[in-house]
Amino acid sequence: MYQDLDAYWMPFTANRQFKKSPRLLARAEGMHFWTPDGRQVLDGIAGLWCVNAGHARPKIVEAIRQQAGELDYAPPFQMGHPKAFELAERLVKLTPPGLDKVFYTNSGSESVETALKMAIAYHRVRGEGQRTRLIGRERGYHGVNFGGISVGGIVANRKMFGTLLAGVDHIRHTHDLQRNAFSRGQPEYGAEFADDLERVIALHDASTIAAVIVEPVAGSTGVLVPPKGYLQRLREICDKHGILLIFDEVITGFGRLGAPFAASHFGVTPDLMTVAKGITNGCVPMGAVFVKQEIHDAFMNGPEHLIEFFHGYTYSAHPLACAAALGTLDTYEEEQLLTRGQGELAEYFADAVHSLKGLPHVIDVRNIGLVGGIELEPLPGEPGKRAFSVFLDCWERGVLIRVTGDIIALSPPLIIEKSHIDQIVGTLADALKRAA
């Protein structure tokens, strides 16, 4: 195993700490990783919210292998290949009615940039070119490109990178520890937080606003579950003012909440929906934007030989990614994984994570579907250090969790069994008892 670690500048990583004490993964299968020295580590976060069907699944592996030998690359501009169209037809059968078109990207970040550009361009082709303003939400995460961090609301992701995009504003987040701490599923209080959008609309005037973008469940900021009625209220306000609603489902898509998409789970259909991660089970980079038919159709004007939407990527609809996605959808369907995160298993998971209430430093536990968040009281003057110490403790004892600030996130593969839940939560509970 190669051991020289100096040249690689790692993303979203404490590089100096890592290189003093590396955490290397050598292989994976099912629910587990293995380190180079053969130690087994239970994956409590589906890789990075993406390996929903578990690791090294045979249909996905074989689909990639076959595709690499058949068609390794096909140019996506003015050309196509059959699997791109087959995949699109299968994907739109999973989406809420109306989201009938698919535009391929290579990541969640690219999906967000694409959706934002679509929203602005849509209003222009309709004759409302003054609608250029974009509204995000505090604590939102929409990838790391300039559009995504502009509409995003995680301070550390924004503060180093200048003035970002002009014409962006934010509504308040939905986190309310005082009223909603230790809620099971959707919190009872906070639907009125959606009305903050009316304040922003009044400030800028609706006629200038192109779109509002939110995560149905805010993931990377620490699992913030929408209060009951909140998303429905956002939809109503957007409809009232002619504003497009974008759901960022990069994390919540493909079964995380026990439905194919959060839009299906909550019964709220956006105008555009971004996905990535679970679309290929994390095997090959891919993302997509689902688009309402009428938005797509608004671009289909003018001479037929002209490009309608000047946007795309060299690797859009990459043949290996399409093959991986088709193998992933086959696996989801055969094992009914897109709905496994509901019912008895979800209840067992909820009971397990809420059993952490009362342990040292735990100030909130949140859950929905097969995702959980455990918020810790920060160490005075050292934000994030307590949760990071718990992360390292769990790693040493064979469980991989994720931390963001002082919040621990759990999002295991959808193939998880009750024994795995017991191991994850039991290991975490012991680590919390040891934490300073």
Tell me: the pLDDT tens digits for 393-426?
Answer: 999 999 999 999 999 999 999 999 999 999 999 9
The model's pTM: 0.97
Structure tokens at 237: 């306000």
Where would I find the H helices in 126-267? 146-151, 155-158, 177-180, 196-204, 230-241, 262-266
Which 3 state secondary structure label does DSSP give 55?
Answer: strand
Q: Cα separation of 317 and 88, whole Å?
A: 10
Q: Alpha carbon of 137 to those of 36, 114, 246, 309: distances in Å? A: 41, 18, 12, 27
Q: Give φ, ψ of 183 to 5 degrees.
A: -70, 140
Full set of structural domains in the chain with CATH? 15-56+338-434 (3.90.1150.10), 62-335 (3.40.640.10)
Instruction: State the virtual CA torsion across 123, 211, 272, 338 in degrees, nearest 10.
Output: 180
Q: Cα separation of 315 and 17, whole Å?
A: 34
Return the pLDDT at 436.
66
Cβ neighbourhood burial of 16 (10 Å; 0-12, 13-18, 19+): exposed
Show Cβ contacts of residue 196 under 8 Å, excluding neighbours closer than 6 positions: 171, 172
Residues of the chain under the 50 pLDDT cut: none
Q: Alpha carbon of 337 to those of 146, 202, 267: distances in Å? A: 34, 43, 20
Return the pLDDT at 269.
98
Residues counted in the chain: 436
Percent of residues, the chain, with pLDDT higher than 90 = 99
Where would I find the H helices in 229-300? 230-241, 262-266, 293-299
Closest by CA to 333, choosing from 287, 281, 276, 282, is 281
Contact between 216 and 224 (Cβ < 8 Å)? no
Return the pLDDT at 1.
53
Q: Cα separation of 288 and 436, whole Å?
A: 42
Tell me: the pLDDT tens digits for 59-91?
Answer: 999 999 999 999 999 999 999 999 999 999 999
DSSP code per residue over 78-108: S---HHHHHHHHHHHTTSPTTEEEEEEESSH
Return the pLDDT at 3.
75
Contact between 96 and 261 (Cβ < 8 Å)? yes
407-410 and 402-404 beta bridge pairing: antiparallel
Return the pLDDT at 208.
98
Residue found under tokens 């974009």:
134
133-137 and 99-105 beta bridge pairing: unpaired
Q: Cα separation of 350 and 242, whole Å?
A: 38
Contact between 113 and 100 (Cβ < 8 Å)? no
Closest by CA to 136, choosing from 68, 213, 191, is 213
Contact between 321 and 91 (Cβ < 8 Å)? no
Cross-strand bridge partners of residue 367: 372
Q: What single-letter amino acid sits at 308?
A: E
Q: Cα separation of 154 and 137, whole Å?
A: 9
